[in-house]
Amino acid sequence: MATKKKSTPKQKPTGQSEKLRTFKVYALKNGTVIDHIPAGKGVEIIELLKLKQWNKIVTLGMNFKSKKMGSKDIVKIENKELDINEANKVAVIAPTATLNIIRNFERTKKTRLTVPDVIEGIIKCPNPACITNHEPVKTRFTKEPQKALRVCCAYCERYFNADEIEIL
Amino acid sequence: MPTFDGRDVLSIRDFSKADILHILKTAKKFKQKTHPSLLSGKIMASLFFEPSTRTRFSFESAMERLGGSIISLADAKASSSAKGESVADSIRIVEKYCDIIVMRHSLEGSARLAAEVSNNPILNGGDGANQHPTQTFLDLFSILETQGTLEKLNVAIVGDLKYGRTTHSLAYALGLFNSKLHFIAPTALQMPDHVTTELKKMKVKYNTHKRPEPIMPKLDVFYATRIQKERFADAMEYEKVKDTYVITNKLLTKVKKNFRILHPLPRVNEINYEVDDTPYAYYFQQANNGLYVREALLALALGKVK
C-alpha cells in the first residue's frame, strides 16, 4: 500500500500504457478506482473491503485536492472489480464516492455510489438490546430521506446517524 | 386497506389511520356483544419469555371468551430458550402446534424476527423497550370511547417519556389523528429525539412542559405514567420532582367536563387514591378495554371477522 499526496491522478483515457504520464499514484491496468472518498475515510474502506488480505497491489491516496470536496481520498485496487454488494458497503461510509472499473487502462464504467434504500447485511445495529446482536439474523436498515445518512433498524426500530454506524 | 387475515401485529408503525380505526371499530363490536364460539377449534400459543400479568391474562382471557384454547409457556426459566434455544428456533417449533402466537421477549425486534420465521400470525405483547402495540390500541380505544373522537384532541402525556415505550407509540398514533400533544416531564425524562423527529416529520403539533398545572384547563386526556426512581442518576433530583407529577383532586379543580385520566398501570403513587372516585378516573375501564381490543385482534388475525 502506497500513500502519496498532492494532485489528483487522472486515469489514462486510452490504452496507451507506453505513454503514461508521471502520476503521483500510477495508473491501473485492470481493477477498481474508488474516487471522491471523503478525506480520512480511505483507510476505513480498505478495512471494510478487507483489502489487507488482497494479495495484489492496493494503493491509498490521502488528502488529494478536489474542486468539489476540498480534499479527498482515493483507493485503487489492482485486478479486482467490486461487485454491487461491496459497492453498497462503500456507499454507506463514503456516500460521495465514485466507482471506476478499469480494463486495460481504460475506464469502462463510472458509477456514482448511492446508499440503497434498504441496507441488508452491511451495518451492525448499535443497539445492544436489538435481536440482531443476539441471534444469527441478517441486519436490515431503511435509509431515511434526508441528505445526511440516517438509518432505521427494521428490527428494533431505532434511528442512527452516520457517525454511530458500524460496518459488519 | 390490507386484509387482516393472517396479519402480524408487531408495531404501531405498521398500521395506517384506517387500519387503526377498523381495529377500534371491531373492538367496540366485541364489547357490545359476546362471541363465545367464534374461535372454537383455534389454538393460541402464549409465549411470555418475560413476566407479564395484565397483557398475558387479557390475551388468554380473550381467547377463552371467544371459545379458543391456549397452550402456554408457564415459566420461561423452564423453556428450551433457557437452554439456549434461539427465538427463531422456538417459534419455528411452536408455530406447528398452534394457529396464532402471542409473545413477549426482552430483546427489541424479537417479535419481527418471529414473524419472519412463522407462518402463523404473531401478536407482539412487548419486545423490550421497543413496541407494545396492543397497549396502544387499547389506549386509543379508551380515548375514542371517552371523547367520541381521536381527532384534534389536547392530550397530555406525562411522566417517564424517555424510557416509556407506551408513551412513544401513543404519541405516534395520536399524531396520525392531528391531536395536539403536551409532553409533561422533568427535563431528564423528556420525550427523546427519535420520537420528536418522527413527530416533526408528520407535522404533529406538540410542546413540552415541566409542570401540569398551567395547561390542565385545556386538556381532554391526561395519560399518566410512572416515574421510576432508578432512572435518576442523582437521588436528590428525584426527590425534587417526585411530587410534581402526582395527580390529586386539587389538580383537577379546573378541568373540562370531558377530561379523563388514563394510565397503562400498574400505578405506584402517581395517581392519588382519592382520584379513583372522581368522574375523571378511567384507568380501570381502560385496562378492561384491553380484553375487547385483544379479542378483536385475535379474531381479525385469524380471519374470523373482516
pLDDT at B232 (0 to 100): 74
Question: Cα Rg for chain A, rounded, in angstroms?
Answer: 17
Q: How confident is the model at residue B1 (pLDDT cuts 50, 70, 90)?
A: low
The answer to whether B291 and B59 have CB atoms below 8 angstroms apart is: no
Cross-chain Cβ contact B130/A154 below 8 Å: no
Check pLDDT > 70 for residue B292.
yes
Bridge partners for B47 per DSSP: B103
Q: How far is A119 from chain B (nearest CA, A)?
A: 17
Rounded CA-CA distance B68/B70 in Å is: 7
State what percent of residues in chain B have pLDDT above 70.
Answer: 97
The string of DSSP codes covering B64-100 is HHTT-EEEE-S-GGGSGGGGT--HHHHHHHHGGG-SE
Highest mean pLDDT of the ranges A145-159, B180-194, B289-303: B289-303
Q: How confident is the model at residue A22 (pLDDT cuts 50, 70, 90)?
A: very low
Rounded CA-CA distance B259/B154 in Å is: 10
A51 and chain B: CB distance < 8 Å anywhere?
Answer: no
Residues in contact with B67: Cβ distance below 8 Å, sequence separation at least 6, in sequence order:
B35, B36, B37, B38, B39, B40
Check pLDDT > 90 for residue A113.
no
Question: Cα Rg for chain B, rounded, in angstroms?
Answer: 19
A130 and chain B: CB distance < 8 Å anywhere?
Answer: yes
**A contacts of B109 (beta carbons < 8 Å):** 130-132, 153-157
**B contacts of A157 (beta carbons < 8 Å):** 11, 13, 108-109, 130-131
The phi, psi pair for B82, rounded to 5°, reads: -65, -20
pLDDT at B76 (0 to 100): 67
Cross-chain Cβ contact A155/B197 below 8 Å: no
Interface of A with B in 149-168 (CB under 8 A): 153-159
Q: Taking Cα atoms as reference points, which of B115, B117, B119 lies closest to residue B98?
A: B119
Cross-chain Cβ contact A135/B128 below 8 Å: no
Q: How confident is the model at residue B79 (pLDDT cuts 50, 70, 90)?
A: low
Cross-chain Cβ contact A130/B86 below 8 Å: no
pLDDT at B269 (0 to 100): 85
Global confidence as pTM: 0.86
Q: How far is A164 from chain B (nearest CA, A)?
A: 14
Rounded CA-CA distance B180/B154 in Å is: 5
Q: Is B180 a catalytic residue?
A: no
A91: helix, coil or strand?
helix
Rounded CA-CA distance B285/A16 in Å is: 83
- The pLDDT tens digits of the residues spanning B13-68 come to 999 999 999 999 999 999 999 999 999 999 999 999 988 888 999 999 999 999 99
Rounded to whole angstroms, what are the CA distances from A136 to A121, A124, A130, A133, B86?
11, 12, 12, 8, 9
The string of DSSP codes covering A6-33 is SSPPPPPSSS-GGG----SS---SSEEE
Rounded CA-CA distance B153/B175 in Å is: 10
Q: How confident is the model at residue A2 (pLDDT cuts 50, 70, 90)?
A: very low
Q: Which three cell numbers stand for residue B69?
A: 384454547
Q: Is B168 a catalytic residue?
A: no
B130 and chain A: CB distance < 8 Å anywhere?
Answer: yes
B56: helix, coil or strand?
helix
Q: Is B83 a catalytic residue?
A: yes
Q: Is B104 a catalytic residue?
A: yes
Q: Which three cell numbers stand for residue B302?
A: 385469524
- The pLDDT tens digits of the residues spanning B228-275 come to 777 777 888 788 777 778 999 999 999 999 999 999 998 888 999 999
Q: Which three cell numbers stand for residue B22?
A: 377498523
Rounded CA-CA distance B88/B103 in Å is: 12
Per-chain mean pLDDT for chain B:
93
**A contacts of B130 (beta carbons < 8 Å):** 156-157
Check pLDDT > 80 for residue A159.
yes
pLDDT at A4 (0 to 100): 44
**A contacts of B84 (beta carbons < 8 Å):** none
B106 and chain A: CB distance < 8 Å anywhere?
Answer: yes
pLDDT at A20 (0 to 100): 47
Rounded CA-CA distance A155/A141 in Å is: 8
Helices of type H across B33-185: 54-65, 87-94, 110-117, 133-147, 165-175
Rounded CA-CA distance B34/B79 in Å is: 34
For the segment A77-102, the average pLDDT, to the nearest whole number, is 90
- The pLDDT tens digits of the residues spanning A45-55 come to 998 898 988 88
B109 and chain A: CB distance < 8 Å anywhere?
Answer: yes
**A contacts of B115 (beta carbons < 8 Å):** none
Rounded CA-CA distance B145/B134 in Å is: 16
Q: Which residue has the higher pLDDT, B255 or A116?
A: B255
The phi, psi pair for B201, rounded to 5°, reads: -60, -35
Omega before B266 within 30 of 0, i.e. cis: yes
Cα B112 to chain centroid distance, Å, stands at: 17
**A contacts of B131 (beta carbons < 8 Å):** 157
What type of residue is A134? H
Chosen from B130, B194, B199 to mutate, greatest number of chain A CBs within 10 A? B130
Per-chain mean pLDDT for chain A:
84
Check pLDDT > 70 for residue B162.
yes
- The number of C-alpha atoms within 13 Å of A35 and in the hemisphere containing its C-beta is 22
State what percent of residues in chain A have pLDDT above 90.
Answer: 52
Cross-chain Cβ contact B128/A129 below 8 Å: yes
B202 and chain A: CB distance < 8 Å anywhere?
Answer: no
Task: Report the range of poorest mean pLDDT among A128-137, A147-156, B91-100.
Answer: A147-156
Rounded CA-CA distance A65/A26 in Å is: 17
For the segment B123-143, the average pLDDT, to the nearest whole number, is 95
Check pLDDT > 90 for residue B224.
yes
Q: What share of chain B is helix, strand, coil (3-state, %, to 5)?
A: 45, 15, 40
Kindly report the number of other CB atoms within 10 A of residue A167's CB atom: 15
The string of DSSP codes covering B234-262 is SHHHHHHHTTTT-B-GGGGTT--TT-EEE
Check pLDDT > 60 for residue B187.
yes
Q: Which residue has the higher pLDDT, B156 or A1?
A: B156
Check pLDDT > 90 for residue B184.
yes
Kindly report the number of other CB atoms within 10 A of residue B72's CB atom: 13
Q: Least CB-CB distance to A131: which of B11, B13, B87?
A: B87
- The pLDDT tens digits of the residues spanning B56-78 come to 999 999 999 999 999 998 676 76
Q: Least CB-CB distance to A158: which of B87, B127, B194?
A: B194
pLDDT at A18 (0 to 100): 45
**A contacts of B107 (beta carbons < 8 Å):** 129-131, 134
